[in-house]
Amino acid sequence: MTGTEILYGIVFQPLATLRYLSSGQPLIMALTAFAVTVLGNMLVNLGINMHGGLGGALPQGYIGVYLGLGLVFALAALAAATAIYALLGELLFQQANGRGLLTCLAFAFVPGILVSPLQYALSLLNIDTFNVGISLLAFIWIVVLQIIGIREALLIQSSQAFLLFILPGAVFFMLLLITLLSLASLLPGMMI
């Protein structure tokens, strides 16, 4: 598949496209598409903030630092998510495909490139009420694509992919809750 066929497929034929991408072949293209998506969204969000009067938040001349750090953190988050899902897939379902998983997760973020320009256009038209709805729809779309990508890369069922997707967040939330309850019990006068 060519790059345009993959981008078209992610939007209009995600199942077949993610099945192809799970082979892990276009990894460089996936990371490039992910980087373009992240940088594009960061630039448009910066424009939204400047239009909304928050332009002083970024000192003049630091846009390169802002974009560079944002890209580094986004790539680190992508790598961490891939590592966690690959490890859990190996432990729970005896399925491993780290390269395919990284490719699928990177391409799953591509539809997110549409969110910021739509939000920017709405803010220019002073119709900010739809921004939350657009963000929510894009979030759901990306989550569904990630779950499909996990399923196709690890060759597991949809319910197993969903479990694999929510498990890290559920474990983190439980550990946070236990930590907060433990700290609350250590403080004198705090009753739960």
Q: What was the pLDDT predicted at 125?
A: 82
Q: Given a cut of 80, is residue 47 above it in pLDDT?
A: no
Q: Residue 11 in contact with residue 114, Cβ under 8 Å?
A: no
Q: What was the pLDDT predicted at 118?
A: 85
Which tens digits make up the pLDDT trace of 91-108?
999 998 999 999 999 999
Please identify which residue in the block is written with the tokens 């989550």: 143
Which tens digits make up the pLDDT trace of 48-63?
777 666 555 667 788 8
Q: What was the pLDDT predicted at 57?
A: 65
- Amino acid 4 reads T
Which tens digits make up the pLDDT trace of 132-149?
888 899 999 999 999 999
Q: How many CA atoms lie within 13 A of 145 on its CB side?
A: 27
Helix, strand counts (H, E) of the chain: 8, 0
3-class DSSP state for residue 82? helix
Cα separation, 173 vs 6, whole angstroms: 35
Q: What was the pLDDT predicted at 53?
A: 63
- pLDDT, greater one: 127 or 41: 41
- Amino acid 24 reads G
pLDDT confidence bin for 129, thresholds 50/70/90? confident
pLDDT confidence bin for 177, thresholds 50/70/90? very high
This prediction has a pTM of 0.87
- Amino acid 66 reads Y
pLDDT confidence bin for 109, thresholds 50/70/90? very high
